[in-house]
Structure 1
């Protein structure tokens, strides 16, 4: 049973500063990472955030099969992958390293990846053949420029948020997660190209980077908030209308709306999972991961 209570916040707006960015794409051995250069700062604020947060890194998680690879689930089902935009609180902390281990340190915007015949234009820049083959092995790096941050977001104003932890060691519980309510798309060929990335260096045995997800974690009575109004259904619901996001200092007037508080009394499949286990264990019994999002 889901308990919905109006979360008493005024409708709030958010904005991102800077549209075009550049950075370095890495094979970390654990995931594909795009780390932005310091010339193009991208800040996000509003909604569930008390402070402004600065985009530090974009990480890709993906599976060895199309039906797995995301670190969150929808109705008990995983997506093929998950894009995570990792921001740190630049108002309270001087850098990402300090923020990651500190209260109110991080905001992570998470977007599902889904297989399609066409791909998201931002991901297409990262995953096209000329780019992805430059980072085949651990510690490989490749410079990218002229990326449009607007293009990585799906066209939706709806999201879910909760207070949780990082999904890579040391898994500090300092992150506010924001899960967008629509996926973005990758092609089968692009997904195959990611599965050909190695955890190891060229001199070592090949081991695919795929299935780089954190196993199931206990809910621990956390509450999940959303701006999805469940009392309004169908095409006339304003929260369901896809709206183009506004950038360059313009307010995203529909991105962060009034919240709803959802307390979900559900149990996870396995509450005995370690706090921060190795990420590359391919355990097909892990039916759920961070949280079960059965209410979208």
Structure 2
């Protein structure tokens, strides 16, 4: 063990002991993705995070295209085309965008698998160091260079994100997988954030953004998958309806350039990926018909599109994910 890693372990031990011994503690500040404050210990150190260790509906997961179930009741997802103000922050664990509080600061999300109206609140960016996979969710055991996760809360039942995340039907989350492009004819989808990265290099750095719309990052497709899961950070609340656009199957991802990804990798924090969680026989649904299901149900094939999994850009195998407890 190096002097640096020994120092980090001792620092984490002191932080944990301090939190355990105090009446109140800001647990949000000390959890990490490595060592004794990393994912393998989230559910052991804070009594409010036991779901991280014991939950059966945890995220992220691997999406196996063969096991997707077509659900004809899934209609289109509706996201308001409006802009809000907010800020990017380097938390030391991730790069996070949060919408400002105030009147008119809401982008509505509804439809699809959602029974209620939801309001966009936070956006998390996940990536890894050079040469390593950077997405939390995987497809057919393949990882991607990066992933954006967009969270919203149930604004019909709950007054804010903090309360909603701890209660049924509390949250919705979009998982957007990211591919690399070097094409002169394909525009990057990361221009809106890449211009700010030089001001977000260190933990605690904040950049205010005067205008942002979700349609700047959402893939241009109405095809999606959905499953019931959790947040991928503590306390791993199992109140999340996940929606993943079929970008990884229909080759309609959002794109980032190698240069822009390198800018993300300059930000000072560790790899921010939680290990994959067991699917546990969860029903992963899609609004697009799957060929295997057409073959077994020929009478129900009218109007169903065909899913093909044929990535046109190299992705990284699952076993290359750099995870050690």
Calculate the TM-score normalised by the size of structure 1: 0.71
Aligned to 2:45: none
Go from structure 1 to structure 2 and tell me whether the alpha carbon gap of 1:64 and 1:163 turns closer, same or farther (over 3 Å shift).
same
Structure 2 gap ranges (5+): 1-63, 248-252, 296-302, 308-317
Q: Secondary structure at the match of 2:275?
A: coil
Aligned to 1:181: 246
Deviation at residue 121 of structure 1 after TM alignment: 5.5
Asked if 1:227 is matched to 2:287, the reply is yes
Asked if 1:190 is matched to 2:255, the reply is no
| Residue correspondence of structure 1 range 198-217 to structure 2 within 5 A | 198-199=268-269, 209=270, 211-217=271-277
Go from structure 1 to structure 2 and tell me whether the alpha carbon gap of 1:5 and 1:36 turns closer, same or farther (over 3 Å shift).
closer
Asked if 1:123 is matched to 2:186, the reply is no
Matched-pair contact (CA < 8 Å) for 2:70–2:290: no
Q: Distance in 2 between matches of 1:184 and 1:124?
A: 12
Deviation at residue 191 of structure 1 after TM alignment: 0.8
Aligned to 1:153: 218
Matched-pair contact (CA < 8 Å) for 2:217–2:254: yes
Task: Name the structure with the higher helix share.
Answer: 2
Q: Distance in 2 between matches of 1:4 and 1:180?
A: 13
Go from structure 1 to structure 2 and tell me whether the alpha carbon gap of 1:6 and 1:153 turns closer, same or farther (over 3 Å shift).
closer
Go from structure 1 to structure 2 and tell me whether the alpha carbon gap of 1:179 and 1:13 turns closer, same or farther (over 3 Å shift).
closer
Aligned to 2:87: 24
Aligned to 1:283: 323
Go from structure 1 to structure 2 and tell me whether the alpha carbon gap of 1:122 and 1:147 turns closer, same or farther (over 3 Å shift).
farther
Q: Distance in 2 between matches of 1:64 and 1:217?
A: 22
Q: Distance in 2 between matches of 1:177 and 1:239?
A: 22
Matched-pair contact (CA < 8 Å) for 2:130–2:265: no
Calculate the TM-score normalised by the size of structure 2: 0.65
Deviation at residue 190 of structure 1 after TM alignment: 1.0
Matched-pair contact (CA < 8 Å) for 1:27–1:33: yes
| Residue correspondence of structure 1 range 1-296 to structure 2 within 5 A | 2=66, 7=71, 9=73, 12-38=75-101, 39-117=104-182, 123-128=190-195, 131-182=196-247, 183-199=253-269, 209=270, 211-231=271-291, 282-283=322-323
Q: Secondary structure at the match of 1:84?
A: strand
Matched-pair contact (CA < 8 Å) for 2:219–2:245: yes
Q: Secondary structure at the match of 2:105?
A: coil
Matched-pair contact (CA < 8 Å) for 1:137–1:198: yes
Deviation at residue 22 of structure 1 after TM alignment: 2.1
